Structure 1
C-alpha cells in the first residue's frame, strides 16, 4: 500500500506556487460592472520592500478620491516585505476605463492591468420585502409645465429596519419644488408605506429620462439574538425603482408662461394735486408656472415711480399648481399722465394657442398749484398839484441843553433793548407754535393716508423708512391702528441714528 508523505507534498506545492505569489507584485481589484451614479471602489495592492504608490485624481473625466489605505509587514528569515493596499472611489455615469498605473517597487517600475468597468442599466428591484416606485401625473408636457412626481417606498411591517440611506434625486434640466412627505399606514396589509412628492418644471424640450432612485435599507442581521453587542450588526441592501421617460415640447417663441391667468388693476384716485402720489396696484392670478413671470416695471414720462419687488404666493388648487403675483406702485406726476395697460401673454394648453390678457388703462389728471397774484400799484407822480392845497409850513427852531440830550439818549437806549427783548421772545414763541417735530407729526396722524403724506418727502433717506412708506398704501384703518405704535417706534429709532430725519414737517 502506497504511503502519502504530506511534508513532501507541501514542499512541492511551495516550490511551484511561491514564485507565482512573489511575482504578483501589483494587483488591481475592481468590479466588472456598476449602476449609473453608483459609487465605484477599486483597490491597488503592491508588494515589495520599497513601494511608491501612484497619485490618482481623475479617471475618464471622473474625480477620484482616496477612500483609505492599509499596510502589512511580513518577515521571512529576517527579510521584511510590505504589502500596501490603497482604496479609491469615484462616481460614474458611463463605462469606466481604468488605465494601467505605474508603481515604483524596489527601484523598478511595475504596472497594473487596464480594466473596463461596464455600466449596467438599472433594473427595478423585485422583492416581497421591499418595493420602490416612482410615478408622475403626466408624461407629455410643455417646458415650464408643472409635473407632480411621487416616490413611494413600501416595506414589510415585520422587518427590523434600523435606517434608510436615501439621497434626494438629482433632477437635471428641471426646476424643483418640494411638496410634502408622509408615512401611509394601511391596516389591511402587511406593509408600511412612505411617500415623498416633488413638483418638477422641465426647462428644456426633448426626451428626458427620470432616472431610477436608490434607497439603502439597513436591517438587523438575520440570526442575531442580542448577545454582548451594544449595537446589533446590520446588513445593507439596495432597493432600486423604475425609470420614467417624459416627452417635453417647446413653448411658442418668446412665450415662457403656460396655464390660465387673469389680470386686475386698481387706483386710489384719478385726480390729484401736483406733488401728490397715485397708488396703483397690479394683481395677476392663475394656474400655471407663475414663478416664471418676470418683474413688471412701469415707464411713464414726466413721473416719479416708487415700487417694491413683486410678492409671489403659490398654492395647489384641485391638484393644479398656481398662485398670485401682486405689486404696488406710487406714481407722482407734475402734469397729466396715463398709466398704460399691462399685457401678459401665455400658452393655453387646452386650446393649444397663445392668449393675451391686458389690464385697464388709466388717465390721471394733475391739478397745478395756483400761485397767489400780487397787485403792484405805481404812484403817478404826474398828478397835478393844485396850488390851493399847498399849505404854508412854519419853521420853528427848538434848542436843547446837554443834560436833556443825555437823558434822551439813555431813554432811547432802554427802549431799544426792551423792543429787542420783546422781538426775540415773540420769535421763539412763534417758532415753537409753527415748527412741529417729525415724531409729533407721526403721532398725530390719524389715518394711513395722513401719515403717508407726512413721510413721503423723506423717501430715499433710509431703507426702513421707505418700506414703511410703501406699506402704508396697503394698510387698512384697523390694521393701521394696530401697527401705529410700531411705526412710531421705528421712526424714533431712525431719528436717533440719522439726524437728517430730525427736521420739521
Structure 2
C-alpha cells in the first residue's frame, strides 16, 4: 500500500510543477502622455502574498485612483502543468510634467523586493487650455497665486467639449482637492460657446486657513463617448468608450495676515435700529449690514451681553456672488433687545485689512441709548370712595331700619312671581342650547392666542425657561417670514397659560 502511494506521488510531481519563485515588476500603461491625460502605474507581484507600500503621491502628483486585484494562471509546458499567482496594484495620477517614477519596495512572502525606476514623458498639447483641439479637456485657473490668510481667491474649472462630439453618458466629474482652504461652491454654473468648443465653468471660492504653500487640483472626469464600432439592427450606435481626463494643478502661496485683523477685503458697514423709545418688555430691533469685496462666509459676529436685557439674534444671511471677475459679499444680521428699564447698546468695531491698499481700517457700529417707558400699573381707587363698595345717590337720607325691612318685604312680594317665571323660561332655553353645543370639537387644535400676541407675552420670560427661549426663536423666525418653521399650537397655548397663571398669583 505504501509503495502505491509513493508511486502516485512521484507521478503527481512529474506531471504538475508549481512556480513559487517570487518577483516584482513595475509597468507604465503609456510611457508618454499629453498633459491633461491620466497616467497609470501597474506594480505586479508574483507570489502567494504581497504587501504593497502606501503610495499617496508619485513625484508631486497626487494619487487619484487605486485598485488592487489578484490572478491565478495555469499553463502546460511539455506535458507539465505550472501555476502562477500574481497580485497587481494599479495607481492612477495626472502628472503635469515629465518625471522619473521611483523604485518601490514590495514584501512578497516575507521577503522584500524592489521595482526598477521608470521614465514618464509628459508633452503639452498643441493648443492648451479651453481652446484645445482635443475632443474634451479640463483646465483649472485661479485668479490669484499669492494671498494672505483670510483673503479669498476664485478657482474656476473649465470643461471643454468639441462641437460634434456625442456623449453617450453624463460625465463623471470629481472636483479638485482643496486641502488647506475653506471652500464654497458657487451653485450657478456658467455655460457658453467659444470657437469650436462648448465650455462649462465650475467655480469655487477658497479662503486659506493657514500660511504655507498649497497645491490646488487636479479636477478629474470620466467621459463616456458612444462606441461607433457597434451598431444595432437599426443602425444606431450602442455601447460606451470611457476616457479619464484631469486638469492641471495650481500652486498657491499663502502669507500670514497682519495681527489683530478681523476681516480681509474692502468692506463698508451700516447699522440701524427701529426705535429709541419703547414700552417696557417690547423689542428694539438692531440690523447690521456689511458688504463689499471679499469673503464674509467665516465672519463670527460676537453676541451682545447687557445686564438686565434679554438679547436674541437670528442667523446671519450671507450672499456671495461674482461681479466683473471679483468676489462680492453681503452679510446681514439682526438683534432684538428686550428690557423693562433704560439701557445702552454698546458700540462695536471690526478691523479690516485691504490687500490692495495694504492698509487696515476700522468698521464701527455706534452705541445706542434706549429709553424704556415703565409699565402702567392698575389705577388706584379714588380716596373719597370706600374701598370695595359701590356707592349710589350719596345725598339720599337714610330711613329707619324697620321701615327698610318692611319695604323690602313688599318689593319681594311684588316681583317674586315674574322672577320665577323668567328663571324657568331661561332654564329651558339654556338646556336646549346646551345639547346643541359640539363639545367634541371644542379645544381641539385651536389656539386662543395669535402668534404675535404670544410672542409679546413670552419675550419677557425668555431667560426663565429653555423651552420658552426655543419657542420665542421659532415665533421670531416666523415673524420674519420663515414659513418652514412649525409651531405646536397646543404647546404654545399651554406655555402662555402657564405664564399668565404665574403672573396672576
The question of a shared fold, defined as TM-score above 0.5 by the shorter chain, is answered with: yes
Q: Give 3-state SS (helix, strand or coil) of 2:312's partner.
A: strand
Offset at residue 253 of structure 1 (A): 1.0
Residue 158 of structure 2 is aligned to residue 152 of structure 1? yes
- Match of residue 181 from structure 1: 189
The equivalent residue for 2:290 is 284
Structure 2 counterparts to residues 100-249 of structure 1, below 5 A: 100-103=106-109, 111=111, 113-115=113-115, 117=117, 124-126=124-126, 128-130=133-135, 131-163=137-169, 164-179=171-186, 180-186=188-194, 189-219=195-225, 224=229, 226=231, 236-249=242-255
Number of the residue aligned with 1:59: 54
Provide the TM-score with structure 1 as the length reference.
Answer: 0.64
Q: How far off is 1:214 after superposition?
A: 4.4
Q: For 1:253 and 1:119, how far apart are their aligned partners in 2?
A: 47
**1:85 aligned onto 2:92:** no
Per the TM alignment, residue 22 of structure 1 is displaced from its structure 2 partner at its CA by: 8.6
8 Å Cα contact 2:457-2:496 kept in structure 1: no
Aligned-partner Cα distance in 2 for 1:83–1:441 = 83
Consecutive unaligned residues of structure 1, counting only runs of 5 or more, are 1-20, 47-51, 104-108, 378-436
Which one has a bigger Cα radius of gyration?
Answer: 1
5 Å-filtered alignment, 1:256-335, equals 256-335=262-341
C-alpha spacing 1:298/1:329, structure 2 compared with 1 (3 Å): same
Partner of 2:349: 343
C-alpha distance 24-218 of structure 1, shift in aligned 2 (>3 A): farther
Residues 210/314 of structure 1: CA separation in 2 closer, same or farther (3 Å cut):
closer
Superposed displacement of residue 53, structure 1: 2.0
Distance in 2, matches of 1:492 and 1:238, equals: 57
Going from structure 1 to structure 2, the CA distance change for 1:182 and 1:61 (only over 3 Å counts) comes to closer
Structure 1 CA distance for aligned equivalents of residues 236 and 89 of structure 2? 31
Root-mean-square deviation (CA), in Å? 4.6
Deviation string 1:116-170 (CA, Å, 9 cap, x unpaired) is 5569686544474345432233334333333222222334334454454532111
Aligned mates of 2:126, 2:88 — CA distance in 1:
32
The answer to whether the Cα contact below 8 Å between 1:68 and 1:87 also exists between their aligned partners in 2 is yes
Q: Distance in 1 between matches of 2:124 and 2:138?
A: 8
Q: Which structure 2 residue ranges, 5 or more long, are not aligned?
A: 1-16, 58-62, 128-132, 385-442, 501-505
- Cα 1:84–1:333, aligned 2, differ >3 Å: closer, same or farther? same
Contact conserved, 2:274 with 2:285, CA < 8 A, in 1?
A: yes
TM-superposed deviation, 1:258: 1.8
Following superposition, the deviation at residue 361 of structure 1 comes to 1.1
Write the mapping of 1:340-379 to structure 2, written as runs, cut at 5 A.
340-368=346-374
Who is 1:453 aligned against?
456
Residues 249 and 122 (structure 1), Cα distance of their counterparts in 2 relative to 1, 3 Å cut? farther
Q: Distance in 2 between matches of 1:90 and 1:243?
A: 18
Shift of residue 341, structure 1, vs aligned partner: 1.4
- Give SS of 1:309's match: coil
C-alpha deviation, 1:334, in angstroms: 4.5
* Equivalent of 2:449 in 439, 442, 446: 442
Contact kept, 8 Å, 1:262 with 1:286, in 2: the verdict is yes
State the Cα distance separating 1:190 from its structure 2 match.
3.8
